[in-house]
Amino acid sequence: MQTAEISRRYIDYFAERGHTVVPSASLVTDDPTLLFTVAGMVPFVPYLTGVVPAPFPRAVDVQKCIRTNDIEEVGKTARHGTFFQMLGNWSFGDYFKEGAIEYAWELLTKSEADGGLGFAERDLWVTVYETDDEAAALWQKIAGLPADRIQRMGKSDNYWHTGQPGPGGPCSEIYFDRGPKYGQEGGPAVDDNRFTEIWNLVFMQELINNVTSKVDFDVVGPLPKKNIDTGMGLERVAFIKQGVENMYETDQVRPVLDRASELSGRRYGADHGDDVRMRIIADHIRSSLMLMSDGVTPSNEGRGYILRRLLRRSIRAMRLLGVEGPTFTDLFAASRDAMKSAYPEVEHDYSRISQLALGEEETFLRTLAGGTTILDLAVSKTKESGKSELAGDTAFLLHDTYGFPIELTLEMAEEAGIAVDRGAFDTLMSEQRARAKADAKSKKKVLADLSVYGEYRAKGETVFTGYTDLQTDSSVLGILVDGVPAQKAVAGQTAEVILAETSLYAESGGQAPDQGKIVGDGYELEVLDVQKPVKGLISHTVKVTRGEVGVGVPATTLVDEDYRRGATQAHSGTHIVHAALREVLGPNAHQSGSFNKAGYLRLDYGWNQALSPETRSEIEEISNNAIRQNLEVVTRELPLDEAKALGAMALFGEKYGDVVRVVDIGGPWSRELCAGTHVSTSAEIGMINIVGESSVGASNRRVESLVGIEAFRQFAAERALVQELTQNLKTRPDQLVDRIGELVQNLKTAEKKIASYEQKALSDRVPALAAKAVRSGDVLVVAESVGPLGSGDELRSLATSVRGQLGDAASVVALAAEVGGKPIAIVATSAAARDTGANAGALAKRMAGVLGGGGGGKPDLAQGGGNDVAAIPAALEAVRAELGH
User: What is the predicted pLDDT for the residue at 381?
Assistant: 86
Asked whether residue 858 is domain-assigned, the answer is: yes
Q: What is the pLDDT of residue 656?
A: 66
Q: What is the pLDDT of residues 15-54, one digit of tens each?
A: 999 999 999 989 988 776 778 888 888 888 888 877 888 9
258, 395: one domain: yes
Does residue 600 fall inside a structural domain? yes
Residue at 346: amino acid letter = V
Q: For 261-269, what is the mean pLDDT?
A: 95
Last residue of a domain, one of 444, 463, 491: 444
Instruction: Write out pLDDT tens, residues 159-192.
Output: 988 777 778 899 999 999 999 999 999 999 988 7
Report which of residues 243 and 305 the model is more confident about: 243
Is residue 347 located within the same domain as residue 392?
yes
The pLDDT of 617-638, averaged and rounded, is: 95
Burial class from Cβ neighbours inside 10 Å (0-12, 13-18, 19+) for residue 144 reads exposed
Cβ contact 685:708 at 8 Å: yes
Q: Is 754 inside a domain boundary? A: no
DSSP E strand boundaries for 234-355: none
**752 belongs to a structural domain:** no
Q: What pLDDT score does 435 carry?
A: 65
DSSP string, 431-469: HHHHHHHHHHHHHHHHS--GGGGHHHHTT-PPEE-TTT-
As to burial, measured by CB atoms within 10 angstroms (0-12 exposed, 13-18 middle, 19+ buried), residue 609 is exposed
Same domain, 97 and 183: yes
Q: Tell whether 570 and 709 lie within a shared domain.
A: yes
Is 674 within any annotated ligand binding site?
yes
How far apart are the C-alpha atoms of 437 and 300, rounded to whole Å? 17
Total domains present in the chain: 5
Shared-domain flag, residues 868 and 798: yes
Length of the chain, in residues: 885
- Residue 743 located in a structural domain: no
The answer to whether 161 is annotated as binding is: no
CB atoms within 10 A of CB 850: 22
- Range(s) of the domain holding residue 694: 564-716
Judge whether residue 442 has pLDDT over 50: no
Q: How many CB atoms lie within 10 A of CB 515?
A: 22
Q: Is residue 727 part of a domain?
A: no
**Domain identity same for 466 and 520:** yes
Which domain CATH number covers 822?
3.10.310.40
Tens-place pLDDT, residues 638-672: 988 888 888 887 765 556 667 889 999 999 999 99
Asked if residue 349 has pLDDT above 60, the reply is yes
SS (H, E, C) 788-834: ECCCHHHHHHHHHHHHHHCCCCCEEEEEEEEECCEEEEEEEECHHHH
678 is in an annotated binding site: yes
**Residue 534 pLDDT class (50, 70, 90 cuts):** confident
73 and 135 co-located in one domain: yes
Predicted pLDDT at 436: 57
Residue 446 has pLDDT above 50, yes or no: no
> In this predicted structure, what is the pLDDT of residue 443?
36
- Greatest mean pLDDT among 191-200, 214-223, 439-448, 512-521: 512-521
Residues 610 and 474 in one domain: no
Binning pLDDT at 50, 70 and 90, where does residue 116 land? very high
pLDDT bucket at 316, cuts 50 / 70 / 90: confident
DSSP 680: S
722 located within any domain: no
pLDDT at residue 402, as a whole number: 67
Give tens-digit pLDDT for 76-102.
Answer: 876 778 999 999 999 999 999 999 999
**Are 194 and 125 spatial neighbours (Cβ–Cβ below 8 Å)?**
no
282/408 same-domain check = yes
Which of 559, 579, 594 is a domain's end point? 559
**What's 59's domain CATH number?**
3.30.930.10
**Is residue 852, in this structure, part of any structural domain at all?**
yes
| Confidence tier at 447 by pLDDT (50, 70, 90) | very low
What CATH number should be reported for the domain holding residue 654? 3.30.980.10
* 574 and 469 share one domain: no
Q: Tally DSSP H helices, then E strands, for the chain.
A: 25, 34
Same structural domain, 401 and 270: yes
Of the residues 559, 593, 624, the one at which a domain ends: 559
**Is 885 marked within a binding site?**
no
Same domain, 272 and 140: no
- Mean model confidence pLDDT for the chain: 89
The CATH number given to whatever domain includes residue 542 is 2.40.30.130
Confidence of residue 448 (pLDDT cuts 50, 70, 90): very low
Q: Which of 153-157, 392-396, 733-737 has the lowest mean pLDDT?
A: 392-396
